[in-house]
């Protein structure tokens, strides 16, 4: 309860409100919001406490909070990068740095993904920002897919999780990079830019740079954060309802096992810095199938789907996620057959 | 969302993260190394929220131009962030318990293939459940010798004839990727402790017939849940 009153005190300061410039809107939601929170706290607390007595509900709540809390710092990082691009990078600079021809810009952007150390939640706002400042969507999507999979932090954690198997790290890098490039090229060939919901908000045009930075950061954080909550809720529900032991019963080495672990990666929505440790434990599956788990996870999962749907639109997210899933499983299968 | 609702929400999320980091409660959800990261991210959000609140109230706003036209566009989902904030303010979801053991993947010690030096004789050695399982997998537990070991975990139900099982999760990043290490405890007298009760058991390694790592206990104490419930 202690933190609740914090925002109330500034909202209640009347002298400043009177002196406000004419640009300020009269109707504010700060005070009603805090009131609603307090009422909700009083009414809901016993209900929630009772619910948590049920082990399944407690498990859901723990996983939900865990996914959200784990992802928030990475989201803050992604939002900070996105807001920096919006406020401090001259418009058109990044587009000029990339090769002119989209077919070359896609691999360049995919390789550039290695520079964003984080997991997948951080790359969505950055990719959205790239699209909004005029980078070819195909290149931005290649970046979106490759960044969470091939950055050094993720590769190192993969090496730690698979001691004595450096081929796994190489295979993950190559398969993820290949899948990102293929998706970018596919978008050039088949993609329609009208599938992407245009970003209606344009912060980048007016005001001092610091204001632009702050407004963009706030906007991007709230938008991505809201959808992160939806994704975390979905993942927690699936984890609680579907025991992972179901997966163990369909172990195998054929192409089916690639699909099974690909679907598992979508459902459990692990952070890309942690998924290698889980993959290392899935010993009853072939290395290639586990590679599919590692390639699909950072590119398609229920949490990421919610983030993409919120950022680029649902129509886009469905098609893009399905295509990415097929491409990622295929790349994992080919690279695994070659290297593992 | 209006401007002040946005700023308030960002502030609340930041305050929640700072509180989680400072109180140590975050260890129930993510690995302990994340504490500082959470704190920094939380402070950044609190700062962003405070600046937003100040601006919404009219402080430090020159022309007001940068914000005038962008409200209620595409950030309606931001309200949802109040969900986890409310959940954490009202109740603290517990650390993962026995519900998930057997539903989630069990820890696989054979993949690590670690080998161990023998334990020093005589002195009781504290040990993680993971190490106990790994030592069991290494040459049938030869490295234990007769040295007593001490384990701390929570009680998880199992249909064993003898004894009961304790478990503890390993997490790599957050509670969503937890896998459990399990040890069967035998040799205790009286009734087994209740499900999800944390216990510290001291005893010696014992070869089991069915491959479940087994400890023959000489002492059993019920303990409060540790600060970091994961290994």
For residue B64, is pLDDT > 70? no
CA distance B224 to B182: 19
B98, B167 contact by CB (below 8 A): yes
How distant is the alpha carbon of residue A240 from its chain centre? 21
pLDDT of residue B99: 85
Alpha helices in B24-96 (DSSP H): 35-56, 82-90
Q: At what angle do helices B3-23 and A55-88 cross, to 10 degrees?
A: 120
Q: Do A41 and B86 touch (CB under 8 A)?
A: yes
**Structure pTM?**
0.82
pLDDT of residue B106: 66
Q: Chain B residues with CB inside 8 Å of A27's CB?
A: 2
What is the mean pLDDT of the segment spanning B47-55?
Answer: 90
User: Which residue in chain B has the smallest CA separation from A158?
Assistant: B172
Q: Do B177 and A219 touch (CB under 8 A)?
A: no
pLDDT band at A141 (very low <50, low <70, confident <90, very high): very high
For residue A180, is pLDDT > 80? yes
Question: Of the ranges A283-292, A325-334, B153-162, B180-189, which one carries the lowest mean pLDDT score?
Answer: B153-162
pLDDT band at A329 (very low <50, low <70, confident <90, very high): very high
pLDDT band at B16 (very low <50, low <70, confident <90, very high): very high
Looking at the complex, report in whole angstroms how far the Cα of residue A67 sits from the nearest Cα belonging to chain B.
Answer: 7
A251, B43 contact by CB (below 8 A): no
pLDDT higher at B157 or A25: B157
pLDDT of residue A29: 57
Query: What percentage of chain B reaches a pLDDT higher than 90?
Result: 26
Domains of chain B as residue ranges with CATH: 3-93 (no CATH), 100-222 (2.40.50.140)
Looking at the complex, report in whole angstroms how far the Cα of residue A273 sits from the nearest Cα belonging to chain B.
Answer: 7
ipTM, interface predicted TM-score of the complex: 0.89
Q: Chain B residues with CB inside 8 Å of A70's CB?
A: 29-30, 34, 173-174, 176
Q: Name the residue among A338, A77, A84 with its Cα closest to residue A224.
A: A77
For residue B118, is pLDDT > 70? yes
pLDDT band at A40 (very low <50, low <70, confident <90, very high): confident
**Contacts with A253 (C-beta within 8 Å, 6 or more apart), sequence order:** A285, A286, A289
* A268 membership: H or E segment, kind and range: helix A255-268
Q: Is B202 left (phi over 0), alpha (psi -120 to 50) or beta?
A: beta
Residue pLDDT, tens place only, A252-267: 667 788 888 899 889 8
Residue in A40, A211, A283 nearest the CB of B66: A211
Q: Chain A residues with CB inside 8 Å of B28's CB?
A: 62, 66
pLDDT band at A206 (very low <50, low <70, confident <90, very high): low
For residue A4, is pLDDT > 60? no
Mutation site for B-interface testing, chosen from A5, A30, A196 by largest number of B Cβ within 10 Å: A30
Question: Of the ranges A73-87, A163-177, A271-285, B124-138, which one carries the lowest mean pLDDT score?
Answer: A271-285
pLDDT of residue A3: 41
Q: Chain A residues with CB inside 8 Å of B45's CB?
A: 76, 221
What is the mean pLDDT of the segment spanning A94-109?
Answer: 88
Q: Chain A residues with CB inside 8 Å of B103's CB?
A: 243-245
pLDDT of residue A227: 86
pLDDT higher at A308 or A255: A308
What is the mean pLDDT of the segment spanning A232-244?
Answer: 82
For residue B150, is pLDDT > 80? yes
Greatest alpha-carbon span in chain B: 78
Question: Of the ranges B60-74, B92-106, B115-129, B163-177, which one carries the lowest mean pLDDT score?
Answer: B60-74
* Residue B203 phi, psi (nearest 5): 180, -170
Query: Which of 58-87 (A) contact B at CB < 8 A?
Result: 58-59, 61-70, 72-73, 76-77, 80
**Contacts with A262 (C-beta within 8 Å, 6 or more apart), sequence order:** A292, A293, A296, A325, A328, A329, A332
For residue A203, is pLDDT > 50? no
Q: How many beta-carbon contacts under 8 Å exist across A and B?
A: 291
Q: Chain A residues with CB inside 8 Å of B56's CB?
A: 24, 28, 30
Q: Do B66 and A215 touch (CB under 8 A)?
A: yes
Mutation site for B-interface testing, chosen from A45, A64, A73 by largest number of B Cβ within 10 Å: A73
pLDDT of residue B21: 93
pLDDT of residue A32: 75
pLDDT of residue A252: 61
Q: Chain A residues with CB inside 8 Å of B107's CB?
A: 281
Residue pLDDT, tens place only, A67-83: 899 889 888 988 898 88
Residue in A68, A222, A278 nearest the CB of B75: A222
A217 touches chain B (CB under 8 A): yes
CA distance B98 to B191: 18
């Amino acid at each position: 309860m202690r933190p609740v009153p914090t925002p109330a005190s500034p909202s209640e300061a009347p002298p400043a409100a009177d002196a406000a410039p004419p640009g300020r809107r009269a109707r504010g939601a700060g005070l009603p919001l805090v009131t609603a929170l307090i009422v909700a706290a009083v009414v809901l607390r016993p209900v929630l406490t009772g619910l948590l007595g049920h082990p399944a509900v407690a498990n859901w709540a723990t996983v939900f909070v865990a996914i959200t809390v784990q992802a928030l710092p990475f989201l803050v990082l992604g939002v900070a990068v996105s807001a920096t691009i919006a406020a401090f990078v001259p418009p058109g600079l990044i587009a000029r740095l990339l090769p002119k021809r989209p077919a070359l810009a896609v691999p360049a952007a995919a390789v550039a993904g290695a520079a964003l150390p984080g997991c997948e939640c951080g790359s969505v706002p950055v990719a959205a920002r790239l699209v909004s400042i005029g980078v070819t969507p195909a290149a931005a999507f290649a970046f979106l897919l490759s960044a969470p999979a091939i950055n050094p932090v993720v590769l190192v954690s993969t090496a730690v999780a698979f001691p004595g198997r450096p081929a796994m790290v190489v295979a993950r890098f190559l398969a993820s990079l290949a899948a990102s490039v293929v998706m970018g090229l596919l978008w050039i060939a088949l993609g329609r830019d009208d599938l992407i919901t245009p970003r209606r908000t344009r912060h980048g045009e007016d005001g001092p740079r610091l204001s632009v930075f702050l407004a963009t950061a706030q906007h991007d954080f709230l938008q991505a954060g809201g959808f992160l909550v939806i994704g975390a809720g979905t993942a927690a529900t699936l984890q609680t309802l579907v025991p992972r032991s179901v997966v163990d019963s369909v172990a195998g080495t054929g192409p089916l096992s690639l699909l099974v672990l690909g679907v598992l990666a979508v459902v459990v929505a692990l952070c890309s810095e942690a998924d290698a440790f889980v993959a290392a434990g899935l010993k009853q599956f072939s290395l290639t199938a586990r590679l599919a788990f590692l390639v699909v996870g950072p590119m398609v999962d229920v949490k990421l789907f919610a983030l993409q749907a919120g950022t680029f639109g649902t129509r886009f997210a469905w098609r893009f996620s399905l295509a990415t899933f097929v491409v990622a499983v295929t790349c994992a299968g080919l690279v695994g057959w070659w290297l593992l | 969302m209006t401007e002040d609702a946005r700023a308030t929400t960002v502030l609340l999320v930041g305050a929640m993260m700072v509180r989680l980091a400072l109180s140590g409660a975050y260890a129930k959800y993510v690995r302990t190394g994340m504490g500082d990261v959470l704190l920094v991210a939380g402070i950044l959000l609190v700062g962003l929220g405070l600046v937003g609140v100040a601006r919404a109230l009219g402080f430090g706003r020159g022309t007001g131009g940068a914000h005038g036209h962008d409200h209620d566009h595409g950030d309606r989902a931001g309200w949802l962030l109040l969900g986890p904030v409310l959940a954490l303010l009202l109740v603290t979801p517990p650390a993962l318990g026995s519900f998930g053991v057997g539903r989630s993947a069990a820890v696989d010690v054979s993949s690590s293939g670690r080998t161990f030096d023998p334990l020093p004789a005589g002195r009781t050695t504290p040990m993680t459940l993971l190490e106990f399982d790994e030592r069991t997998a290494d040459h049938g537990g030869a490295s234990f010798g007769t040295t007593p070991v001490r384990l701390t975990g929570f009680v998880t139900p199992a249909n064993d004839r003898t004894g009961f099982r304790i478990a503890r999760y390993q997490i790599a990043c957050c509670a969503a990727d937890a896998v459990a290490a399990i040890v069967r405890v035998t040799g205790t007298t009286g009734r087994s402790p209740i499900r999800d009760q944390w216990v510290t058991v001291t005893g010696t390694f014992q070869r089991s017939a069915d491959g479940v790592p087994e400890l023959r206990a000489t002492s059993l104490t019920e303990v409060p849940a540790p600060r970091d419930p994961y290994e």
